[in-house]
Amino acid sequence: MTQRATPAELVDFWREAGFDRWFKADPAFDAACRAYLPLHEAAARGELAAWEETPEGALALVLLLDQFPRNLFRGTPRAWATDAAALAAADRAIARGHDAAIEPALRAFLYMPLMHAEDPGHQERSVALFAELGIPVNLEAAHEHHALIQRFGRFPHRNAVLGRPETAAEREYLSGEGAFRG
């Protein structure tokens, strides 16, 4: 894969990977995502802004800025380095109505930058969008993320990687069973 991959090729790659690979640490999938590293870097530099003109392009851009870094840079600060750009692109796509033109399973990825934001307002909007989308597993995840931001104001599982000091409450939460770990 080269930097010249099209939005359709990128979205097809993501679609074909499927649910079982999207939401778990899978070294083979992470390696497959590395083929798109040059494209991610171009998106991070703002060179793919024209992709925002179409629903598929907007989705591909958000995937490159939000999902791919979580696979490309797992366990490092770079995993979240383009979250703000992903959120801005997602907001613009939603404002343009691009989300309505994307199949529901993939539309969820257009909404995920809101779920990944450490901001209560974005979390509330995330829950509303995922409720409207109607995919129970996504709505459950949105509620879980929202609850963490309500409780801690941030995602505690990011603290160690980002070099943020933990509060006692975060430390207690992270040591418990069932703590969200990203």
Region 159-173: mean pLDDT is: 96
Q: Could you give the percent of the chain with pLDDT greater than 70?
A: 98
Q: What is the pLDDT of residues 63-87, one digit of tens each?
A: 999 999 999 999 999 999 999 999 9
Six-digit token string for 74: 């797992």
Domain coordinates in residue numbering, the chain: 7-175
Q: What is the pLDDT of residues 116-128, one digit of tens each?
A: 999 999 999 999 9
Class in CATH terms, 7-175: mainly alpha
pLDDT at 178: 86
pTM of the entire structure? 0.95
Give the number of other Cβ atoms within 10 Å of residue 75's Cβ.
11
